[in-house]
């Protein structure tokens, strides 16, 4: 497992906190879900039939 750190504006952080409170999630859980969905949307990863994740595109750092 890896940890992802990021900075967001205070206003965005307040929105994130509010959404987390309404969904009953921790900020880290919501952030992880959002990152995962974003990576799927840009076709960087895809789910396999067995529920695993495969890397689809090579991402350069």
In tens, the pLDDT along 25-56 reads 999 999 888 888 888 888 888 765 556 666 66
* Cα(55)–Cα(35) distance, integer angstroms: 14
Give the per-residue pLDDT at 14: 95
Residue 2 Cα to chain centre, angstroms: 12
Task: Decide: pTM greater than 0.85.
Answer: no
| Residue 55 DSSP code | E
């Amino acid at each position: 497992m890896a940890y992802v750190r990021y900075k967001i504006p205070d206003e965005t952080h307040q929105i994130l906190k509010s959404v987390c409170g309404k969904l009953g999630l921790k900020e880290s859980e919501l952030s992880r879900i959002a990152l995962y969905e974003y990576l799927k949307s840009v076709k960087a990863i895809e789910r396999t039939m067995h529920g695993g994740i495969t890397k689809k595109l090579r991402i350069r750092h």
